[in-house]
A = this chain, B = another copy of it.
Amino acid sequence: MQSPPLSCDRVFLSTVPSNEQSLAQALQQRRQRLAEQMDAPVLLWSGRSSARNFPANTYPFRASSHFLYFAGLPLDNVVIRLEAGRMELFMDDPTPSDRLWHGASFTRDRVAEQIGAAAAYPLYRLKSFAEGVATIPVQDAATRLQQSQLLNRMITPANALQGMDQELARAIVSLRLTHDAAAIGEMRQAAAVTVAAHRAGMQATRTAKTEAQIRAAMESVILSHNMTPAYSSIVTVHGEVLHNDRYHNPLQSGDLLLADVGAETELGWAADVTRTWPVSGQFSSTQRQIYEIVLAAHDVCIEKARSGVEYYDLHQMAATVMAAGLVDVGILRGRAEELVEQDAHTLFFPHGIGHLLGLDVHDMEDLGDLAGYEPGRHRSDRFGWCYLRLHRPLRPGMVVTIEPGFYQVPAILEDPDRRETYRDWVNWERLAEFADVRGIRIEDDVLITEAEPEVLTAALPTHPEAIEAWVSEI
């Protein structure tokens, strides 16, 4: 019930496949690239566990992603100092009590060797190395207080970073925006386990009676590979509740089940995948019509996603394809382009087409829009468009999600203002015939290249017949 002990030699490094670029080399290259952009020295804290219901009963420790990017291992209460490509490690050796409760943990010197630190010191030495350094705030408040005290300035939530801290954030963004081979190797592993989890969820639907049972089947696959869910799984027959993270509903045969579940590797790299399938194993005619529309939007975005393409244009393309499809089935009236100009698609597709993926499921979102938005670009103030998390031209090595969706959200569709605004654009009677389509989303993880994008999660089917087969097969 304490923070993770590190009881076995080199266990983390052994998780990296031998045919990938070695982690230690990758880490050294990342530090070297940072040095090319940052003259000031940098301190990065890994952070500490957060208490759940009492101090000794903590949530599972998650190291800061910025720390992980340069130091590689999910170490608790550790600090690294980076300057000119050289790394120094600050960490306390295990106490006798640590060794009693947590076993023969790593020593400072052994960790230093593993992550390629040039020197290693106990934590109390930090203050003599803190002059003129830049940093990034961690998520846990106790460590953030230490950061402020050591650097003698307020280390605030990161989207208000100032001065050299902001310079550091920009440098880190420029590195983490595109992924090296070691990172992609990790993300392939997360994707593969996530595909297996979704397959298990589909198969569990044949006997499950509740959302909780499907969730259990899916997360069990993730845990059995010694990974963790990268975010609170969404597994629900009420997909119209966009951030639903409860699992108490029973499954009924006419329901669609929406599962947004992704694994994170032990070193912290994420997958983020959504599938929507019929509980009965067969889409109804109305469900299938809408599913095909969402799938068309998904497919066109993936087809067009490549280096140089504006992600914003993919969002607009998805909106237009969805609007055209909804016109075809008689729910919307008018021309697709005009409907999108009027934001009519946001009645059913209120969120963005996706986001960056990496060490964070919304990669670097702790830095606000510094990662997601090209310098000089800002969030729209229009409903729907304002939720777009990425507004940059795509570049090789970026990994993004593509996740169009269709939802009947009561807070949107029952809003009197919107019903008035879109009175003539929506065929409300026709819409009523689609009552069994509460929420559909199809989400994949896409690696951008110069040519065809590579769908890291391509092993999981998207076509409705294939979905039906996976749900139904014995």
Contact surface of A with B, Cβ cutoff 8 Å: 1-2, 4-8, 11, 50-60, 62, 64-65, 96, 99-104, 139-142, 157, 210, 212-213, 215-217, 219-226, 231-232, 234, 238, 240-249, 266, 268, 350, 359-362, 364-366, 409-412
A31 CB to closest chain B CB, in angstroms?
21
Contact of A247 among B52, B64, B226 (CB under 8 A): B226
A419 CB to closest chain B CB, in angstroms?
15
> In the complex, which residues of chain B have a beta carbon less than 8 angstroms from the beta carbon of A360?
53-54, 57
> In the complex, which residues of chain B have a beta carbon less than 8 angstroms from the beta carbon of A350?
100
16 A-B residue pairings within 8 Å (CB atoms) = A2-B232, A4-B246, A6-B246, A7-B238, A7-B241, A53-B62, A53-B139, A53-B268, A56-B365, A57-B232, A58-B232, A141-B142, A212-B225, A216-B220, A226-B247, A248-B266
Contact of A411 among B96, B215, B243, B247 (CB under 8 A): B96
> In the complex, which residues of chain B have a beta carbon less than 8 angstroms from the beta carbon of A140?
50-51, 141
Contact yes or no, B231 A57, CB < 8 A: yes
Q: How far is the CA of A473 from the CA of B457 in the complex (A)?
A: 38
What is the chain B residue whose CB lies nearest that of A365?
B54
Q: How far is the CA of A350 from the CA of B100 in the complex (A)?
A: 9
Q: Is the interface of A mostly helix, strand, loop or mixed?
A: loop
Contact yes or no, B103 A244, CB < 8 A: yes
Known: A7-B241, A219-B220. 9 other contacts (CB 8 A): A1-B245, A2-B232, A53-B360, A54-B65, A54-B366, A55-B139, A212-B225, A215-B223, A223-B247
> In the complex, which residues of chain B have a beta carbon less than 8 angstroms from the beta carbon of A365?
54-57
Contact of A362 among B5, B7, B54, B210 (CB under 8 A): B54
What is the chain B residue whose CB lies nearest that of A102?
B243
Q: How far is the CA of A233 from the CA of B360 in the complex (A)?
A: 24
Q: How far is the CA of A93 from the CA of B147 in the complex (A)?
A: 36
Output the residue of A4, A225, A411, A412 with the most chain B CB within 10 A: A411
What is the chain B residue whose CB lies nearest that of A209?
B224
What is the chain B residue whose CB lies nearest that of A213?
B224
Contact yes or no, A224 B212, CB < 8 A: yes
> In the complex, which residues of chain B have a beta carbon less than 8 angstroms from the beta carbon of A213?
224
| Given A101-B243, A243-B2, A410-B104: A141 in contact with B139 (beta carbons within 8 A) | no
What is the chain B residue whose CB lies nearest that of A350?
B100
Contact yes or no, A2 B411, CB < 8 A: no
Output the residue of A350, A361, A364 with the most chain B CB within 10 A: A361
Contact yes or no, A8 B249, CB < 8 A: yes
Q: How far is the CA of A57 from the CA of B270 in the complex (A)?
A: 12
Contact yes or no, B1 A243, CB < 8 A: yes
> In the complex, which residues of chain B have a beta carbon less than 8 angstroms from the beta carbon of A139?
50-55
